[in-house]
């Protein structure tokens, strides 16, 4: 006979945190958000520690190289999606690994024989006022000069004239070798009062530009997640079908961590695939999932998963529960799996971190997920709202929105994620829609992080392990949920002081 689990399946909205005593040395500035990404023995450090407990979902609408760069600069990690050919995903990994903060690949490039009118059009398109003049008009051609918006004026100069006539030729241009470090480049920018320093290889081909205006920008990201060679870290999603070919290609491209991406990870296929990765590439942290209970967690942990993702049916674009009647409230799932993780630690001496994936709609849901035991969270909807996400920004009567679609939607057709018995999707498990546009990731994530820090301080903790081991949570009735919101008629405009 079927087993009925007595406990009701609950979501984050049904809980609130109780404040704990806050001591004087506990303040938002002293909160440390570092958290392990991967399996490690008790008393040891994980091979990779996130500097902030955020990862971005393995989705086409979310984890592009641009978003991965922005998130890693803020201490988190993206998992680039695998619903693309192996070589494209490997190229996306390379794009992140090749990013060098402060070293700009020139996007405004012309040839010397191009007209000033053409140059003006290129500058308008890119929004940048410094153009590289290279022999072939590419970002890595032989550098012949630089031309900036200060070198010509559309009303004063003949726009049919050539770029060569107004550029500063490379012979008169301070430049530096390609292996110049950022601090050396910055020193030259300031010492020689330059706006821009081109870095050239031995053949005189342009590699990067370093701008004085980026100097303070580079100081903005003290928590960047980088590898020992100071390159940003990036993860990649993989599937249980082509991992034998995909994993070596991703490793060759420099990927830092992998994660099997499946709507139901409690399967022999995933255990077999995990065993293969661990046998052939034991050093790359590889996660598994998704699961919603302790039994499935233990299965994947024993199969070798270095972390386990939790969540079925809670995603904002997800219709798995409607379509298949499978899933579990995200709060219940995290609490159950966290207990299994702790039991696994007790039994084996090994800590296998867990990730709460999907269903985080409000910023405070992040704090609840971490308080309930998640080591880090994965978010799709949240990141899809930002400029750096790949979805188009669309104007509506109420303001801008961004496109966001599920991996199980007709638009994505990610059949590898959904075991529907073939190489085709028979029915949708996700929808295609929009999310409210939220601007720049750096600014949005700073607000979310500030809220998390202050919640932790109210709960008397400055580290995530202390936060979850001392958290006290209360269930919320419908009536007290009502009380949680503002109960006045809100002013449209801020009150002015008399
Ligand atoms: P969100 O943060 O609530 O938007 O949820 C994102 C998560 O939903 C992803 O990390 C996946 O685990 C899951 N997901 C992605 N696409 C689909 C889909 O089409 N159907 C169901 N779940 C999905």
Task: Find the Cα–Cα–Cα–Cα dihedral 158, 161, 167, 172, rounded to 10°.
Answer: -110
Least trusted range by pLDDT, from 219-233, 271-285, 454-468: 219-233
Would you place residue 242 in the very low, low, confident or very high pLDDT band (cuts 50, 70, 90)?
Answer: very high
Q: Distance, CA 453 to ligand 1 centroid (Å)?
A: 26
- 56 Cβ inside 6 Å of ligand 1: no
- 380 Cβ inside 6 Å of ligand 1: yes
- 406 Cβ inside 6 Å of ligand 1: yes
CA–CA distance, 232 with 238 (Å, rounded to integer): 20
Question: How would you class 190 by CB atoms within 10 Å of its CB: exposed for 0-12, middle for 13-18, buried for 19 or more?
Answer: exposed
Q: Write down the catalytic residue from 26, 196, 259, 318.
A: 318
CA neighbor of 62 nearest in space, from 353, 395, 315:
315
CA neighbor of 374 nearest in space, from 299, 304, 308:
308
pLDDT of residue 248: 98
- 430 Cβ inside 6 Å of ligand 1: yes
DSSP per residue, 264-290: ---SHHHHHHHHHHHHH-TTS-EEEEE
21 is catalytic: no
Predicted confidence (pLDDT) per residue in 170-189, tens digit: 999 999 999 998 889 999 99
CA 414 to chain centre: 20
CA neighbor of 145 nearest in space, from 110, 187, 190, 115:
110
417 is catalytic: yes
For residue 195, the SS3 value is coil
CA–CA distance, 157 with 112 (Å, rounded to integer): 16
- 379 Cβ inside 6 Å of ligand 1: yes
CA–CA distance, 309 with 291 (Å, rounded to integer): 7
Most distant CA atoms of the chain, gap in Å: 87
Would you place residue 158 in the very low, low, confident or very high pLDDT band (cuts 50, 70, 90)?
Answer: very high
Give the position of tokens 């308008």. Answer: 124
DSSP bridge partners of 131? 147
Predicted confidence (pLDDT) per residue in 404-460, tens digit: 999 988 888 887 787 777 777 788 888 899 999 999 999 999 999 999 999 999 999
- 358 Cβ inside 6 Å of ligand 1: yes
Q: Ligand 1, residues 78, 406, 416, 420: which to mutate, most atoms within 8 A of Cβ?
A: 406
- Of all protein residues, the one whose alpha carbon is nearest to atom 8 of ligand 1 is 315
- 76 Cβ inside 6 Å of ligand 1: no
Q: Distance, CA 151 to ligand 1 centroid (Å)?
A: 50
- 408 Cβ inside 6 Å of ligand 1: yes
CA neighbor of 360 nearest in space, from 267, 226, 451, 457:
451
Q: Distance, CA 348 to ligand 1 centroid (Å)?
A: 32
Would you place residue 498 in the very low, low, confident or very high pLDDT band (cuts 50, 70, 90)?
Answer: very low
Nearest-atom number in ligand 1 for the CA of 431 is 19
Strands 40-41 and 350-351: antiparallel
The count of other CB atoms within 10 Å of the CB of residue 279 is: 9
pLDDT of residue 140: 95
CA–CA distance, 152 with 167 (Å, rounded to integer): 9
CA–CA distance, 363 with 370 (Å, rounded to integer): 12
pLDDT of residue 218: 65
Question: Which tokens is 223 given?
Answer: 């928590």
Question: How would you class 240 by CB atoms within 10 Å of its CB: exposed for 0-12, middle for 13-18, buried for 19 or more?
Answer: buried
- 429 Cβ inside 6 Å of ligand 1: yes
Nearest-atom number in ligand 1 for the CA of 409 is 19
Q: Write down the catalytic residue from 10, 381, 417, 453.
A: 417
pLDDT of residue 220: 81
pLDDT of residue 496: 54
User: pLDDT at residue 465 above 50?
Assistant: yes
Give the position of tokens 């402060």. Answer: 102
Q: Distance, CA 257 to ligand 1 centroid (Å)?
A: 20
CA neighbor of 209 nearest in space, from 276, 148, 295, 125:
148
How big is the CA angle at 277 (ends 273 and 278), to the nearest 5 degrees?
115
pLDDT of residue 497: 52
Q: Distance, CA 353 to ligand 1 centroid (Å)?
A: 20
The count of other CB atoms within 10 Å of the CB of residue 36 is: 24
Nearest-atom number in ligand 1 for the CA of 381 is 4
Predicted confidence (pLDDT) per residue in 59-106, tens digit: 999 999 999 999 999 999 999 999 999 999 999 999 999 887 788 888
- 59 Cβ inside 6 Å of ligand 1: yes
Predicted confidence (pLDDT) per residue in 247-273, tens digit: 999 999 999 999 999 999 999 999 999
Segment (H or E) for 400: strand 399-405
Taking the whole predicted model, whether its pTM rises above 0.95 is answered as: no
Nearest-atom number in ligand 1 for the CA of 412 is 19
CA 144 to chain centre: 37
CA–CA distance, 87 with 246 (Å, rounded to integer): 8
Contacts 24+ apart (CB under 8 A), 482-489: 484/16
Q: Could you tell me if 43 and 382 are in contact, meaning their C-beta atoms sit under 8 angstroms apart?
A: no
Q: Distance, CA 439 to ligand 1 centroid (Å)?
A: 21
Predicted confidence (pLDDT) per residue in 202-211, tens digit: 999 999 999 9
Segment (H or E) for 456: helix 441-458
Predicted confidence (pLDDT) per residue in 287-305, tens digit: 999 999 999 999 999 999 9
CA–CA distance, 381 with 404 (Å, rounded to integer): 7
């Amino acid at each position: 006979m079927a087993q009925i689990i007595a406990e009701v399946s609950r979501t984050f909205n049904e809980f609130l945190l109780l404040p704990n005593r806050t001591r004087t040395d506990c303040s938002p500035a002293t909160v440390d958000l570092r958290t392990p990404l991967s399996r490690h023995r008790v008393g040891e450090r994980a091979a990779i520690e996130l500097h902030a407990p955020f990862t971005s979902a393995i989705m086409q609408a979310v984890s592009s190289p641009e978003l991965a760069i922005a998130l890693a600069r803020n201490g988190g990690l993206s998992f680039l999606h695998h619903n693309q050919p192996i070589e494209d995903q490997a190229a996306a990994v390379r794009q992140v690994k090749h990013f060098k903060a402060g070293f700009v690949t020139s996007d405004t490039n012309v040839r010397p024989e191009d007209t000033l009118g053409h140059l003006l059009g290129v500058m308008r398109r890119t929004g940048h006022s410094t153009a590289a003049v290279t022999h072939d008009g590419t970002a890595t051609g032989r550098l012949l000069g630089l031309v900036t918006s200060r070198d010509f004026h559309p009303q004063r100069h003949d726009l049919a004239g050539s770029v060569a006539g107004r550029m500063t030729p490379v012979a008169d241009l301070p430049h530096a070798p390609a292996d110049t470090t950022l601090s050396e480049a910055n020193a030259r920018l300031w010492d020689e009062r330059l706006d821009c320093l081109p870095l050239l290889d031995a053949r005189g081909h342009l590699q990067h530009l370093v701008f004085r205006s980026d100097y303070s920008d580079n100081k903005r990201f003290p928590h960047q997640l980088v590898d020992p060679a100071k390159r940003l870290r990036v993860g990649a999603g993989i599937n249980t079908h082509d991992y034998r070919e995909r994993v070596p290609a991703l490793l060759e491209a420099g990927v830092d961590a992998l994660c099997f991406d499946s709507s139901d990870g409690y399967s022999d296929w995933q255990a077999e695939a995990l065993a293969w990765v661990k046998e052939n590439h034991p050093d790359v942290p590889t996660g598994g999932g998704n699961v919603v209970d302790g039994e499935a967690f233990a299965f994947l942990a024993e199969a070798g998963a270095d972390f386990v993702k939790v969540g079925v049916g809670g995603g904002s674009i997800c219709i798995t529960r409607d379509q298949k009647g499978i899933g579990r409230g995200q709060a219940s799932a995290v609490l159950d799996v966290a207990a299994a993780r702790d039991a696994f630690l007790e039994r084996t001496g090994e800590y296998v971190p867990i990730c709460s994936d999907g269903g985080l709609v409000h910023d405070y849901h992040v704090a609840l997920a971490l308080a309930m035991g998640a080591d880090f969270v994965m978010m799709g909807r949240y990141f899809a709202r930002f400029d750096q996400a790949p979805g188009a920004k669309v104007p509506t009567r109420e303001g801008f929105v961004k496109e966001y679609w599920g991996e199980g939607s007709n638009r994505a057709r990610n059949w590898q994620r959904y075991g529907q018995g073939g190489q085709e999707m028979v029915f949708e498990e996700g929808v295609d829609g929009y999310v409210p546009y939220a601007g720049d990731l750096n600014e949005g994530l700073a607000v979310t992080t500030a809220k998390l820090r202050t919640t932790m301080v109210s709960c008397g903790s400055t580290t995530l392990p202390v936060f979850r081991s001392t958290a006290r949570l209360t269930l919320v009735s419908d009536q007290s949920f009502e009380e949680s919101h503002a109960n006045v008629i809100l002013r449209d405009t801020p009150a002015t002081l008399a």
